[in-house]
Amino acid sequence: MSSQQRAIAFLGTGLMGAPMVRRLLDAGFAVTAWNRDIAKAEALRADGADVAETPASAVEGASVVFTMLTDGNAVGDVLFSQGVAQALAPGAVVIDCSSITPEAARDHAARLSKRGVRHLDAPVSGGVVGASAGTLAIMAGGSADVVDALSDVFSALGRVTHVGPSGTGQLAKLGNQQIVAITIGAVAEAMMLVEAGGGSAEAFRRAIRGGFAESRILEIHGQRMVERDFGGAGPSKLQLKDLNNIVAEAKSLALTLPLTEAVRAEFAAFVEDGHGDTDHSGLLLQLERKSGRGGGDS
């Protein structure tokens, strides 16, 4: 099926959803957008999107439905309490790009399957920059055949990898978030160590670029730490949500993850201290405060 024949509904056009909708529109797909705050969906009209007042009306006639919502409860509410599942035609595909628990993803897939609707849990990594550039890393759980059949849709957004059955896309995203959170903590602590001994954090970051410590976290989040310009691109409250899900999933699998649990505790304290909307690179402030070395708001 070509892009001209596919009708796509996109539910949740916030920080990540809006640029993803624009990528799909640029690729030639017809997209109907819905968001709880209708103004965020209306902003996409200028880019060529249709706008629906309810999620159920948005998916009418759609063969592909994306969800990019806050958490599993929000996804379940939209799918099963606000009429989306009932409005979908058999054979339609729901692609959930939200970060939710693997258990919730498997539950949604099973419930949709009873209606003849296919489901992929396909969370993404790459942030707003990746969403805008169409370079997202997309981790898909579900049927490999469905992933392959939607290659034209995914290619507009980034690079998709089929990870395994339902729920494994979310497991991969949790693993990604583990690495992100722990690496943010490692970069922050290393900068604190260098500065405490009289060195320059900015020079330290430049010195180790290209070595074994190189990473996107060092490149982007490390620069935010040097500039002490944290903003809210990756809210710490969402990082904490993911870390809580990781710890819960590990418990269900009888795993002990000491590094993850340690960084989760620091993010919990950071959010509790009023920094839920601060970018997760701002964990530096929490670690500085704990060490008695400043940590004031930027």
Residues 43, 18: contact at Cβ < 8 Å?
yes
* Cα torsion angle, 287, 289, 294, 298, sign: positive
**Token representation of residue 196:** 């405490």
Strands 118-121 and 124-125: unpaired
The catalytic residue among 40, 173, 237, 251 is 173
Residue 239 phi, psi (nearest 5):
-60, -40
The three-state secondary structure class of 52 is coil
Residues 6+ apart with CB under 8 A from 277: 232, 235, 236, 237
**Token representation of residue 109:** 């897939």
Annotation says 241 is catalytic: no
Active site residues: 173
